[in-house]
Structure 1
Amino acid sequence: MTTPIKRTPYKCFYASCMATLAHLDVMKEAIAVVGNLKQKGSVILAASPLMKSKFSIKTGSRLYEIPIHPSIHLFEPQMDYFIRISVEITKLLTSYVPKEAIHVYSIDECFVDLTGTEKLWGNPEGTARTIQDEIFRQFEIPNTVGMGPNMLLAKIALDLEAKKTKVGFAKWNYEDVKEKLWPLSPLSEMWGIGRQTERSLNHMGIFSVGDLANANLKQLESRFGIMGNQLYYHAWGIDLSKVGEAPLIEGQVSYGKGQMLMRDYNTTKEVLAVLLEQCEDVARRAREAFQIGRTITLGIAYSKNSYGGGFQRSKTIDEGTNDTMVIYEVCKQLFNEYHNDRPVRHISVSLTKLESEQSMQLDLFDTNKFKRRMLGDTMDRIRSRFGSGAVLRAVSYTEAGTAIKRSQLIGGHKM
């Protein structure tokens, strides 16, 4: 029996942690964790249940939307503290199961395989409830638990039912799929289906999980490849992933980097400075995994001050790469072709159509390819040992650069 444990209900782990530091009750106080209290447009990272119900402030809201009220408590994130609490909760779990039976999914959520623990702790459902109570007793952090015969159903039980109950617990079996899962719509409400995949499925006439379960498997595989096969079987509640493996999709399918800029970037020179930093991050992750990719995608979102909008364009190159400058030149070409001189507020870069680096061919006309790969590897090793800010490109030292500030953050936020 697989159990995902969400370390707080209503997605307010950060709010719960800050509440413990301030000796507040997260379930009774209006609390919001804000990325930067000095910037009115800063994003709300977490909000307590009372903040959501009384003031309509939720994760993703902006600081300027929060009303001035004496009962509201605002905090900036303390990522080092959040990580420390997360690690301590994981240590607590190892007193119930071996570490191999734990899969940390995110800072505030993990999967626990309780299979075989019956002789030690009794019924798995009772064990899960005991763990739930123990987390609250030791850390004063309320948490939610979902159970199921596999990772998929356990996660869905958590997201679709446990978070909505007062006890914060739900258990699903295969018998629950048709009644509880199939009516689900829109499809993006289901774990593992994003907005883009949802749109593609909608174009095929598939609008609910029940539609997906009764769709033509060959058509899904033709449209989505192996992912189409997984989507079909997940709609029936079938997931063969094991705890410790990446759930839903085996292997990395892309490397990407997205960044919301702290101000409008009005010139091409400024945008390209950040773009080069992002290409460096994407290329580094691909190199560390010994992967190369052939499709490079650039996404640009314009400032709301210029009525928003933007574009996302891709280009597939003949030969896979993890070379920073090759990725950057493609992104630069896409930017110059599609940018309409409006202020930029968000930039994203991704590398897809991945394959093993072993398939990379030497080029008789580019004799420096191997040297660039070794140079990239050397820079990666230095950063891994001394920090991401140990070696930077010159653009990072300009006013437009963001790498230096980001190197001083954890998870994009202050330590």
Structure 2
Amino acid sequence: MPAEDNDEHFEDGLTVALRRAGDGFEADDRDGLVAGGLVRGRRRVVRRRAWTVTGSVLALAVVGVGGAYATGTLGGAVEQASVAAAPPAVARNPLAPPVDQDALVATFRQTLPPGGRLTDVVARGTGDPLGPMLSGVYDDGQGKAAVGVGFFQAPPGDKGFSTCPDKESVPYDACTAEDVSGGRLVILQGYEYPDRREETKNWRATLLAEDGLVVDLSTWNAPAQKGAAVSRTDPPFGPAELKRIVTHTAWAPVLEALRVPAGTPSPGASASPAKPAKPVKPDADGAARAAFNGAAVRPTLLSLLPKELTVSDKGGQDGYAFAVVDDGKGKSLMQVNAQPDMTGAEGELFPDGTYELLPDGTKVVVRQQPGEKGGEGVVMWTVDTIRPGGYRVVVSAFNTGDQAAPATRAEPAFSIDELKAIATSEKWLKLRK
């Protein structure tokens, strides 16, 4: 894993969708970004998504609009799965009038509490190929604060935008998830850095509409997402204000401009009549790509743990699970991420000469490195595997029960061979039906 990614391996997971909003900024745009943050390109968004060993997008998100969600922007860095030459076109409604950047800024000002000032604004309208977003610095007289909002379509079937993350993955002070008119709202009061090495808070509201459109609002208690001194105790918008802003009816024209009518070809699709869908063919694992039981990752992990271990904590989300175990020598965190259809990232994640090839065609990479969340003396042992057909299972173990806390033992409770046995177990194949 590139060294530059090490300290934000988990927390930037959610920022994939929003980061998409800012993928197009280049160095010349930096003066307009809040905090002088430079939005990286699609290549970084793509790579971090693949490196992320965690569950739902929201669980990993650190928004950063000015850039993008699920991996925000304001200077954050995101990486997805495979290198793409250019971001894909953003779907939009040909029957609805576009909302330009000036109108987007005016709408945001309309939703803000009275008395505050919004400066250093960077925005894109719905007609921009990279999609609509806005970032700026808000000042209500109590201290300047970075703010940002982005709009995008959630990946099909991704439930990460509608649930609170596990605290083990994303430490936070409070999180609520509730049904609201037309969708699902998550309000997360957390921190920019999971290990709290800086007291920068990140409070965000994510509204997932029933049709999959997302409005994501984020704000900090500093004039920049990263690299700026804290300017106030808390971000300027509390839970009630976050909810009011993100659910405001003023956003209706923006969402309507992105709401693609049923039957409309996706960007770049051929205009020729649609052909009947072909049955999904099984891949080399004998499992159809269309079906993946992400909810079964947690029970599968627990079933693979040695019986003599004591499990003191466990949890997970769709595609991700963790367990804190103790073998009598101290607590050890174990986590696993199962990702179907990762063929597009295989060449980057498993370059020639770096992996062990098993008889069944599975590629295995072993990594032993320092922990990523600041805990003193923490080490992270990882076994990364990908089967023919792109089914990836990544297993990691730590010599602590909490990555942000000091090590509790010299080594993880699992040897590399034990991690290999867990990652390559045939039980993972049962998740792909």
- Fold in common (TM above 0.5): no
TM-score tier by shorter-chain length is under 0.3
The two structures have a TM-score, normalised by structure 1, of: 0.26
Indicate the structure with greater strand content: 2
Q: Which of the pair is proportionally richer in helix?
A: 1
Q: Which protein shows a greater Rg?
A: 1
TM-score (norm 2): 0.25
